């Protein structure tokens, strides 16, 4: 089945198209086999969330946009799932908030780094970082901690969708402000984040962009008020409550 063959009125249309993008990502050497497992885990949580953006996730997306607009050196970290699911949306968000894009893989291979960088360029990225690998995240073994010295290593704010918990904690120890997009509110990465967005990356990235466009002319004081008013614990609690509440719903 291809993405175009899924009938638009299928009740799980968005989910099936998303799944197909990941399959294509694996075929193109962009997404790893472990990425398929991560996708399956994400789908289960998205199903329980009703495959929609919760009001709390929308609030988090607005706080993320404000953080990004206030940042000196924001970097959007891209792995194989993100590259397969939202390449064009990632490039657009990076352009709107003036962020760098860096490929950052849990299972780093030169081939996959290059394939993802090429894929992002095909979707409009001008500069893609990550290939230099001349910086490190302290506290992680070499392959897991390799980043660019003028990219993630130098960033003040990092967007890390679907990030592994160890790396999210290590970035936190480096003092980075972390915006994590992850469908599982119980996972370590969103629990480490300054701004956890519990939403599917396919909905969350364009939503952060929409908020960033809306806030483009806001003053620093207004942006800081949005950041200060955001409560990460409340966002995680609201997502968990939605999942627990929906688990035994009939509809
Ligand atoms: P941790 O080490 O933080 O506990 P984990 O072991 O759960 O993380 P992985 O196995 O890498 O992490 O799983 C990937 C994570 O990404 C899961 O929490 C999953 O819910 C989430 N995820 C998968 N697909 C998406 C998606 N499309 N949008 C947002 N989150 C997703």
140: CA distance to ligand 1 center in Å? 19
Q: Residue 247 has what pLDDT? A: 59
Residue-wise pLDDT for 90-149, tens only, equals 999 999 999 999 999 988 999 999 999 999 999 999 999 999 999 999 999 888 899 999
Query: What size, in residues, is the chain?
Result: 251
For 224, the 3-state DSSP assignment is helix
Q: Residue 121 has what pLDDT? A: 98
For 91, the 3-state DSSP assignment is helix
Q: Residue 6 has what pLDDT? A: 77
Distance CA(251)–CA(203), nearest Å, equals 22
Residue-wise pLDDT for 34-67, tens only, equals 999 999 999 999 999 999 999 999 999 999 999 9
The percent of residues above 90 in pLDDT, for the chain, comes to 87
Nearest protein CA to atom 15 of ligand 1, as residue: 162
In CATH terms, the superfamily for domain 55-247 is Phosphopantoate/pantothenate synthetase (3.40.50.12640)
Output b/e per residue, 213-242; b: 16+ Cβ within 10 A: eebeebeeeebeebbeebebeebbebbeeb
Testing ligand 1's pocket by substitution, the residue of 21, 164, 168 carrying the most ligand atoms inside 8 A of its CB is: 164
What are the helix and strand counts (H, E) for the chain? 12, 7
pTM: predicted TM-score of the whole model, two decimal places: 0.94
Q: Copy the structure tokens of residue 170.
A: 């290590």
Q: Copy the structure tokens of residue 109.
A: 């291979």
Instruction: Give the residue from 187, 208, 159, 163 showing the smallest Cα distance to 53.
Output: 208
Nearest protein CA to atom 22 of ligand 1, as residue: 42
Testing ligand 1's pocket by substitution, the residue of 17, 61, 187, 188 carrying the most ligand atoms inside 8 A of its CB is: 187
Cβ neighbors of 147 (< 8 A, separation 6 or more) are 102, 104, 130, 133, 135, 136, 137, 153
């Amino acid at each position: 089945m291809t993405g175009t063959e899924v009938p638009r009125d299928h009740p799980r249309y968005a989910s099936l198209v998303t799944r197909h993008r990941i399959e294509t990502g694996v075929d193109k050497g962009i997404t790893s086999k472990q990425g398929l497992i991560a996708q399956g885990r994400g789908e289960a949580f998205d199903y329980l969330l009703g495959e929609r953006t919760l009001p709390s996730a929308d609030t988090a997306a607005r706080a993320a946009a404000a953080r990004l607009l206030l940042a000196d050196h924001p970097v959007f970290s891209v792995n194989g799932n993100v590259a397969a699911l939202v390449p064009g949306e990632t490039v657009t968000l990076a352009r709107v908030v003036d962020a760098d894009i860096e490929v950052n893989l849990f299972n780093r291979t030169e081939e996959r780094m290059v394939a993802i960088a090429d894929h992002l360029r095909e979707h409009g990225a001008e500069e893609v970082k990550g290939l230099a690998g001349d910086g490190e995240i302290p506290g992680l073994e070499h392959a897991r901690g390799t980043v660019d010295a003028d990219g993630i290593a130098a960033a003040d704010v990092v967007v890390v969708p679907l990030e592994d918990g160890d790396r999210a904690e290590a970035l936190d120890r480096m003092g980075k402000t972390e915006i994590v997009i992850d469908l599982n509110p119980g996972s370590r990465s969103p629990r480490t984040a300054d701004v956890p967005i519990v939403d599917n990356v396919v909905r969350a990235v364009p939503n952060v962009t929409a908020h960033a466009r809306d806030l483009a002319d806001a003053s620093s004081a207004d942006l800081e008020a949005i950041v200060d008013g955001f409560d990460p614990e409340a966002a995680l609690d609201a997502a968990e409550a939605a999942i627990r509440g929906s688990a035994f719903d009939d509809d």
